[in-house]
Amino acid sequence: MKISKQLSKILIFTFFILLVQYAKAQEIKEIWSEIQKKNISNNESDNNDDSTNVVNQVEGVKVKLSDENILVDQNLENSNILLSGLFDPDDNDLKLDMWSKTDGSVIKKQLESIKSKNLSSFSERLMDVALLTNSYIPNQNFSQDEFESYTIDHLIKKKDFNLVEQFIQKNSSIKDKERLIKHVADYYLSLNKIENSCSAINSLSIIKDEYLMYYKIYCLIIQDKKNEAQLLFDLNSETDTLDNFFVQKFEVLMGYQDNNYILSDKNVLYFHLSHKTDKKLIYYPSIESKEFIWKYLSNSNLLKNLNDFNLSDIDQVKFLEKATSEGIFEEKDLLNLYKKFQFEIDDLINFEKVYKNLPDYKGRALLYQRFLLTDNVEKKLLLLSKLNSSFEKSNFRRSFDDELSKLLKKMDKEEIPSKFSTFYQKNLITEANKKNKIKFNDEVFHQSKVLNYFLNKNSLTKTQKMTDNLLSKMKKDKDYSFNFKDIVLLQSLRSDGIEIGEIDELSQYKPDLNPELDKMIDNNESGMILLKLVEIIGEKELDELNSRSLNFVIEIMNRTKLISLRNELLLEILPLKV
C-alpha cells in the first residue's frame, strides 16, 4: 500500500500540472466554439464601421476580440436566448415567446408561491409544460441560470426519473447538471442499483461537487479500476480536506485496512458504503427516517419481518404506515397488521365514540376490525369513509387507496346509498380504471359522441352537424336540462368555431375573469397564464374542483387557445368511462 501511495504521489504533481494546462486549453476552446456556434451575421454594416476591431454579434452579446483578452458586454438582450426544455411549443399550442412579454420579477414571485404546494396531477402537468417547453427567456429581471434553477427544482420535487433522464440527455450543457445527476444517482442507489448510479456519474466530463467526486471514486473501485480511484483520491486529498467517513471507507474498500464497521446515514452513498462494508448491518428505521433509508432497506432485503413488529411501539407502527404510503410495503400487509390489535367487545360496538380517543394508528385498526365484522352495506361504507379520512389526515393517503378500491368493488353498486355515491365513485376509480375506454351516451350531451372531436377523431364540419342534431333533440325534450358539464362543453365548442344557438343556461355559467388575467390574455403572456392556472387548481385533483373553478380554468384555456391542454382536461372530467 505504502509503495503504491508513494508512486502515485510522485506522479500526482505532474498529472496535476498537465490537468490544469489541459483545462485552460479546453476553456479557451469552449469559448471559441460557443462564439462560432452563436455567431450572427445579420448586421454586416456594424462590422465595417471599425476595421481595427473584429466585432461579432452573438445573440445580443457583443464580443470584442483583442490580442490580450476578451471583453464581454454585460448588457444582454434576452429576447433570443433559448431556455433548456423537452417540449416543442407547438405541442401545446404555445410559442417561443411565451415568457418574453412578462416581467421576470412577476414570474419569480408566482413560482415562489407555487413552490411550497403539493401539486395535483393536472397542476404538475401544467408545470411540466410551463417549465419544460423550449422558449425564449423573459426579457427582464430573470436570467437563464435562474430559470434553469426553477426547472431543476421542479424536476427534483416531481420525482419522475424518466423525465429527469430525458431532460439531461436533451440538455447536456445546462449549468447545474450536477444537481440533477446527484438526484438520479441517489435514486438508483436507493434501489440498490449502483451500476445505474455509476452510469449517471460517468456522464459528467468534469466533476466539481465533492459528494459526486466520492461517487466517482467508489464507482472506479467497483469497476476494478483501483489505480484510477487511488489517483483521483490522492488528487483530491492534495487540494481538499476529504470527509473522514469516506476516507475510512476508502481504506477498507481498497484493502488497506480491516473493516471498521462505522455506520453513517448522512446520505444514501454513505449508507450504502456502511452496508457494503458490513454484510450483517442492523439498522432500525423510525418514522423520522429519510425516504432513501426505507427504499434502500427494502430493496436490499434489510427490513425486518412484519411478524416481528411490536404493536406497542408507536414508532414502528407509524413507520410501517408511512412505508406503505411510499410503496415499500403492500397495503394488504398493513391491514393484516391492524387485525392483530386487541380490542374489547364494547370498543368494537361503540367504535364511533371510542376511536376518537385513540391514537390515530390504533383508531384505524379499530375501524378496520369493525368493518370486517359488519354485513350492513351502509355501515361498511361509513367505516371505510372514516378509515380513509383518517389516512388522509395523517398524510398516508396512498397507504389505503388500492385496497379501498378493491373493497368497494366487492359491493353491489345497486345497493350503494345515495349519500355514499360520491365517495363510492371517487374511490372506486384507480389509475388502472382511468385508462378504460369512453362509453358514449347520446342521451346526455357531455357524454355524447361529440367528444370524438376532442379526441381528434372528428372534423369541425362533422362535429357541427352532430352538435346541431343533438341540441335539436334535447331542446324538444322538456325533461332535459343542460347541466354544468354540458355548458362547459358547449362553451369550448363555440370557442373553436362551432355555431351554438340560443341556450339560456349558457349565460348562467358565463365566468368573469379579473382585469389582471384579461390583460395577460390580451398580451399573449401564455407562460404566466399557465402558472396562474396552476395556482387556481393547486393541490386539488380535477374531480375535487368546484364548478366555479373548473369553469374559470376552461374559460381561460378557451380564450388563450390552449386547446391541447383544455382537451386533456375535458376528457378527464366529462366522459363516462367503463
pLDDT digit string, tens, across residues 506-526? 777 778 888 999 999 999 999
Question: What is the sign, positive or negative, of the torsion defined by CA atoms of 346, 350, 351, 356?
Answer: negative
Distance, in Å, from the CA atom of 520 to the CA atom of 166, rounded to the nearest integer, reads: 31
Q: What is the pLDDT of residue 463?
A: 95
Do the beta carbons of residue 48 and residue 103 sit within 8 Å? Answer: no
pLDDT band at 457 (very low <50, low <70, confident <90, very high): confident
Q: What is the pLDDT of residue 40?
A: 39
Pull the grid cell for residue 554: 376552461
Q: What is the pLDDT of residue 392?
A: 87
% of the chain with per-residue pLDDT over 90: 52
Which residue carries 368546484 as its cell? Answer: 546
Q: What is the pLDDT of residue 334?
A: 86
**Strand pairing category for 70-72 and 438-439:** unpaired
Query: Domain spans of the chain?
Result: 1-33, 39-76, 176-303, 321-434, 438-577
Distance, in Å, from the CA atom of 31 to the CA atom of 33, rounded to the nearest integer, reads: 5
pLDDT band at 29 (very low <50, low <70, confident <90, very high): very low
3 state SS for 134-153:
CCECCCCCCCHHHHHHHHHH
Neighbours of 390 (CB within 10 A): 18
The 10 Å CB-count burial string (b at 16+, else e) for 327-361 is ebbebeebbebbeebebeeebeeebeebbeebeeb
Q: What is the pLDDT of residue 25?
A: 42
Q: What is the pLDDT of residue 58?
A: 31
Least confident residue range of 57-61, 329-333, 550-554: 57-61
Average pLDDT value for residue range 304-324: 69
pLDDT band at 550 (very low <50, low <70, confident <90, very high): very high
Cα distance from N-terminal residue to C-terminal residue, the chain:
69
Do the beta carbons of residue 548 and residue 507 sit within 8 Å? Answer: no
Q: Report pTM.
A: 0.71
pLDDT band at 33 (very low <50, low <70, confident <90, very high): very low
**Strand pairing category for 61-65 and 54-58:** antiparallel
Average pLDDT value for residue range 36-44: 40
Least confident residue range of 160-174, 253-267, 419-433, 470-484: 419-433
List of long-range contacts for 519-526, beta carbons under 8 Å, 24+ apart: 520/102, 521/556, 521/559, 521/560, 523/101, 524/95, 524/97, 524/101, 525/98, 525/101, 525/102, 526/94, 526/95, 526/98, 526/560, 526/562
pLDDT band at 313 (very low <50, low <70, confident <90, very high): low
3-state secondary structure of 72: strand
Q: How many residues does the chain have?
A: 578
Q: What is the pLDDT of residue 287?
A: 66
Q: What is the mean pLDDT of the chain?
A: 82
Neighbours of 125 (CB within 10 A): 17
Report phi then psi at 187, rounded to 5.
-60, -50
